[in-house]
Structure 1
Amino acid sequence: MKLDFILNGKKVSSDIEADSMLLDVVRDMGCLSVKRGCDSSSCGLCTVFVDDMPVLSCSVIAARVEGKCVTTLEGLQKEAVEFGAFIADQGAEQCGFCNPGLIMNAIAMLRENPDPTDEEILSYLTGNLCRCSGYEGQLRGIKSYLEFKKVKKGGNADA
């Protein structure tokens, strides 16, 4: 079957099997930031945005994105590079396997709640599997990024 959708801002078309998963389709199209970790919607490594909402692409039949906008980390490079530097600065990227999913989920969280509490951050990122760290580095990185954004926006941390 033919699938037409927008991938990272570009109209694309692909011939797929009726049971193809979105994860496989976007990886076949070169979006290698989308990782296979569990195939059971448990790890967050395959997170993409469908019409600006985060979804786990390992559990979405590709045909469901017909005519929709799909965004992977490759489509969010400016935000991802800026945010990722704060995660790396805290030593939270270690092996890097979980970073794309973590960054996608953190960006989604910050779009939904630009001033989350520590508890809200940890709750939002609960579904992201990271075997290298205890998540404290990611929490510190997100908090540092939030402070940076406040200063950048208003000229001081109280803005």
Structure 2
Amino acid sequence: DRVGPPSCVDFRNMASLRSLSLEGCGLGALPDCPFQGTSLTSLDLSSNWGVLNGSLAPLRDVAPMLQVLSLRNMGLHSNFMALDFSGFGNLRDLDLSGNCLTTFPRFGGSLALETLDLRRNSLTALPQKAVSEQLSRGLRTIYLSQNPYDCCGVDGWGALQQGQTVAD
């Protein structure tokens, strides 16, 4: 049974699927609920520009289960109003490197990231509140290099240095 055109990505109801890498596959925008019914804990959609079409909505069915998510080099930018990872309650490792983010992503809820990669974005600030919240929840490593800010003048920098959290 075909769900859509041959170029569609649809892994629905593949209950045994736990890890999936689609890095650099030239995917277009994902349809609604392409991972519904899976048991994904690790997903890599890196280097597929436009695959999320400005929203994390295609990931909503697997968001509560994902532990590792790589969205590297996807053209994500802070204009995506839905770039909010609050629904990703088990997420431990998030790679957002190589995008165009100008603001820190939203995390809220009980998200307990251990590793966050924000290298090669367009961040100019690091908000103290966001940093403090993530540190108190277990953030161990954050990658921040190659962003256009003055690390000495960034509000959250002191908390990161004190916690020895910054890897580069």
Q: Same fold (TM over 0.5)?
A: no
- Structure ranking higher in helix proportion: 1
- Give the TM-score normalised by the residue count of structure 2: 0.29
Say which structure, 1 or 2, has more relative contact order (CA 8 Å, 6+ apart).
1
- Give the TM-score normalised by the residue count of structure 1: 0.30
